[in-house]
Amino acid sequence: MSRLPCTATLTTVPNIEDLVARDKDHDCEGFGLHNVCVKVEAVADLPTRFGRFRIVAFWNNRDGKEHIALVHGDVLGAEDVVTRLHSECLTGDALGSLRCDCRDQLGVALQRIAAEPCGVLLYLRQEGRGIGLLNKVKAYALQDSGLDTVDANLALGFRDDERDYAIAAHALSSLTVKSVRLLTNNPKKVTELEKYGIRVSTRIPHVIPANEYNRFYLETKANRSGHFIDFEGKPHVAEQDDPVVVVTDSAAAPPSAE
Ligand SMILES: [Zn+2]
Ligand SMILES: [Zn+2]
């Protein structure tokens, strides 16, 4: 297991903005196989349709990408912080693609976090399970022409899942979060974070409320979890790997994401 040898440099600070000054000269042996080190570079307000957040922008020494955290409430030094690890999906999150349910997962997570005293959503720039946007579109094209998920991934030379949570683990350490309640249906994410020394006090099922537009899609994904089939009967890459838990009783469902 890789742990920070320089935990002293990740001391807690009075305000979240102070993390920028604290991390100015931060340099550690890092997390994981690739010695990932992360620094807080900027913090700002980010009011959203889901609630009020601070946006925390991280630099890292690994992938040249700009990972962020949306932070609600005071998470500095806090225990049991409700936390969601969301992997970027431009087509779903921003464009509303129905080839996946990433946008629903994102919106529901932000609503849930905004309703808690404090919480964090890490928005991780690992598009298409880590293969990148261009390759994800190539995989979609291969699936359109009849290849199944496995063959499409193999044809592109990738493993099933290229994601890595070392950046997420360091980012949570940088925020001085002491323990998390992880919003996920995927026990593997719990194991991954714990491997990097993040204390996961509990797992909270990530339940997606269905609305009239996505009910059929979500029910299909929930019922066919593990080998997702889209409306045209084609298997496709599951970009967020959480099996779906969906509330279909509209009377019992919390407000939808939109
Ligand atoms: Zn570091
Ligand atoms: Zn997606």
- Tell how far the Cα of 75 is from the centroid of ligand 2, in angstroms: 28
Instruction: Say if residues 54 and 44 touch (Cβ distance below 8 Å).
Output: yes
Taken in order 137, 143, 149, 153, is the CA torsion positive or negative?
negative
DSSP strands (E only) in the chain: 38-48, 51-60, 68-72, 81-87, 119-124, 180-183, 200-204, 207-209, 245-247
- Tell how far the Cα of 112 is from the centroid of ligand 1, in angstroms: 29
- Tell how far the Cα of 22 is from the centroid of ligand 2, in angstroms: 35
Q: Tell me if residue 83 falls in helix, strand or coil.
A: strand
Is residue 161 part of the annotated active site? The answer reads yes
Active-site residue, selected from the candidate residues 161, 181, 230, 241: 161
Active-site residue, selected from the candidate residues 54, 99, 163, 242: 163
Give the closest ligand to the alpha carbon of residue 105: 2
What confidence score (pLDDT) does residue 126 get?
Answer: 85
- Tell how far the Cα of 163 is from the centroid of ligand 2, in angstroms: 14
What confidence score (pLDDT) does residue 146 get?
Answer: 82
Is residue 163 part of the annotated active site? The answer reads yes
d(CA 213, CA 211): 5
Report domain extents, the chain.
Answer: 7-207
Give the closest ligand to the alpha carbon of residue 88: 2
- Tell how far the Cα of 137 is from the centroid of ligand 2, in angstroms: 11
Segments of the chain with pLDDT less than 70: 1-9, 129, 149, 159-163, 225-238, 241, 249-258
- Alpha-carbon distances of 87 from 3, 103, 137, 163, rounded to whole Å: 23, 11, 16, 9
- Tell how far the Cα of 93 is from the centroid of ligand 2, in angstroms: 7
pLDDT per position as a tens digit, 12-63: 899 999 999 999 999 999 998 889 999 999 999 999 999 999 999 999 998 8
d(CA 62, CA 70): 21
Other CB atoms within 10 A of residue 12 CB: 13
Give the closest ligand to the alpha carbon of residue 99: 2
Burial state string for 219-243 with b = 16 or more CB within 10 A and e = fewer than 16: ebbbeeeeebeeeeebbbbbbbbbb
The CATH fold assigned to 7-207 is Rossmann fold (3.40.50)
* Predicted TM-score (pTM) of this structure: 0.87
What confidence score (pLDDT) does residue 219 get?
Answer: 80
Give the closest ligand to the alpha carbon of residue 174: 1
Helices (H), 24-132: 102-114, 127-130
